[in-house]
């Protein structure tokens, strides 16, 4: 994002050198700095996500009181996560809500609880896409295909924005501004800056480019995408069956986080 901030300044300077009117330049362009300036590490659980998971844990406990009236034991309430830091942080936030008021720690009467994980190199249940070389090869081979599908749309929108704001935008600029739009709207509740550059039709087209990529490499567009998830489904069904048949209730809670955007996705 800092590179984008520098490039925006270059675009404004270029417009000045070409003696173009700056009336069409979005006001926020002039002094915009990346909200993440100076932050070199990312990928952690966002504060909003942390709060949402904590509240979700509380709601789940309230919705299913009979399941969570047992005395805590890691064999009764196993929580499994991947070794991705934000995934384990998600498990902790959810667990804090789930077991809040059940312990003796602090004013919130929290309690300690166990969170377990498998090695990323062998986690075929929650990180199956990292353990499947066939999928890795498939995803790499698909990149030219979805890039080709996205290219005419990015070209069209690049041309439209270049005329609208009289800037020498490139396709990379549009990709960066679209990414900024998603980051601002999801993390900062800002929709009147980067997102306002695009018309509703352009937003729909850009969303389609995201969707087609997900469909091809993560969705049901290819059978490999869901076949490699069979161990996870089998494990969930087995855990549910064991919980139903057990003399005492047993709940299986698992957390996993695919590598996408959200942060690509927060």
Torsion of CA 222, 259, 179, 10, to 10 degrees: -120
In the chain, beta strands by DSSP E: 79-81, 116-117, 253-254
- pTM of the predicted protein model: 0.76
Contacts of 158 (CB under 8 A, 6+ apart): 169, 170, 171, 173, 174
Report residue 246's pLDDT band, with 50, 70 and 90 as the boundaries. Answer: low
Residues in the chain: 266
pLDDT at 20: 73
Report residue 9's pLDDT band, with 50, 70 and 90 as the boundaries. Answer: confident
> Residue 142 is encoded by which pair of tokens?
């698909």
> Residue 45 is encoded by which pair of tokens?
């659980």
253: helix, strand or coil: strand
Q: Does 145 score more than 90 pLDDT?
A: no
Q: Does 167 score more than 80 pLDDT?
A: yes
47-130+234-265: CATH architecture? 3-Layer(aba) Sandwich (3.40)
Domain spans in the chain, listed from the N-terminal domain onward: 2-41+133-226, 47-130+234-265
Q: Does 258 score more than 50 pLDDT?
A: no
pLDDT at 77: 83
How high does pLDDT run on average in the chain? 83
């Amino acid at each position: 994002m800092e590179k984008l901030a520098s490039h925006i300044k270059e675009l404004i300077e270029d417009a000045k050198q070409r003696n173009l009117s700056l009336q069409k330049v979005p006001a926020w362009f002039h002094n915009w700095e990346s909200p993440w300036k100076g932050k070199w590490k990312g990928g952690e659980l966002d504060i909003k996500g942390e709060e949402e998971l904590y509240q979700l844990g509380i709601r789940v406990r309230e919705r299913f009181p009979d399941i969570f009236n047992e005395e805590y034991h890691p064999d009764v309430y196993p929580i499994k996560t991947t070794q991705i830091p934000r995934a384990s942080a998600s498990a902790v936030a959810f667990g804090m809500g789930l077991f809040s008021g059940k312990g003796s720690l602090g004013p919130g009467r929290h309690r300690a609880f166990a969170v377990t994980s498998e090695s990323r190199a062998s986690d075929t249940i929650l990180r199956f896409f990292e353990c499947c070389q066939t999928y890795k090869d498939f995803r790499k081979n698909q990149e030219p295909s979805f890039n080709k599908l996205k290219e005419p749309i990015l070209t069209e929108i690049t041309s439209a924005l270049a005329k609208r704001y009289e800037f020498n935008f490139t396709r990379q600029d549009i990709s960066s501004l679209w990414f900024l739009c998603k980051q601002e709207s999801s993390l900062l509740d800002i929709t009147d800056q980067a997102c306002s550059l695009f018309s509703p039709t352009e937003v729909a087209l850009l969303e389609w480019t995201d969707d087609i990529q997900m469909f091809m490499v993560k969705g049901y567009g290819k059978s490999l995408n869901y076949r490699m998830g069979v161990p996870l489904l089998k494990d969930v069904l087995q855990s549910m069956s064991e919980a139903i048949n057990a003399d005492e209730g047993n709940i299986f809670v698992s957390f996993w986080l695919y590598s996408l955007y959200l942060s690509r996705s927060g």
